[in-house]
Amino acid sequence: MLIKQNNPVLQPELAVLFDDPRVAVRRDGAPDPKGQCVVYWMQRAQRGIDNHAVDLAVKIANLLGLPLVVYFAGISNFPHANLRHYAFLNQGLPDIEEDLASRNITFIMRRAPHESHEKLLVDVHAAFLIGDENPMRQPESWRKHLASRIQIPFWTVDTDVVVPSKLIEKAQYGAYTIRPRLYRLLPEYLHPYENLHAERHWKRPPKFQADSVQEDLTRGWKDLDRSVTPVDAWRGGTHAALKRLELFTGKLLQGYEQQRNHPETDGTSCLSPYLHYGHVGPITVALAVEAAAKANPKLRSARDSYFNELIVWRELAINFVRYTPDYDSPECAEAWAKQTIAEHARDERERIYTLHQLENAQTYDDLWNAGQLQMVRHGWMHNYVRMYWAKKILEWTPDIATAMKYCIYLNDKYFLDGRDPNGYAGIAWALLGKFDRAWGERPVFGKIRYMSGASTGTKFDSKLYIQQMGGTPAVADRLIF
Supply the angle between the helices 366-378 and 473-480 in degrees, to the nearest 10.
80
This prediction's pTM? 0.95
DSSP states of 328-369: TSGGGS-HHHHHHHHHTTTPPPS----HHHHHTT-SS-HHHH
pLDDT in tens, 47-93: 999 999 999 999 999 999 999 999 999 999 999 999 999 999 999 99
Region 466-479 average pLDDT: 62
Query: What are the domain boundaries of the chain?
Result: 10-159, 238-323, 330-480
pLDDT in tens, 358-386: 999 999 999 999 999 999 999 999 999 99
**Could you tell me which CATH number the domain at 10-159 has?**
3.40.50.620
Per-residue b/e over 114-123, b at no fewer than 16 CB within 10 Å?
Answer: ebebeebbeb
pLDDT in tens, 296-315: 999 999 999 999 999 999 99
pLDDT in tens, 243-289: 999 999 999 999 999 999 999 999 999 999 999 999 999 999 999 99
- Maximum mean pLDDT: which of 395-399, 456-460, 471-475: 395-399
Beta-sheet strands, E only, within 92-170: 106-111, 126-132, 154-157
Region 213-233 average pLDDT: 96
Q: Are 27 and 150 in contact (CB under 8 A)?
A: yes
Q: Is the pLDDT reported for residue 205 higher than 80?
A: yes
CA–CA separation, 457 vs 453, rounded Å?
6
pLDDT confidence of residue 481: 40
Region 400-406 average pLDDT: 98
Q: Tell me the CATH number of domain 238-323, given options 1.25.40.80, 3.60.15.10, 3.30.470.10, 3.40.50.980.
A: 1.25.40.80
pLDDT higher at 420 or 16: 420
Question: What is the CATH T-level fold of the domain 330-480, as seen in this structure?
Answer: DNA Cyclobutane Dipyrimidine Photolyase, subunit A; domain 3 (1.10.579)
pLDDT confidence of residue 123: 97
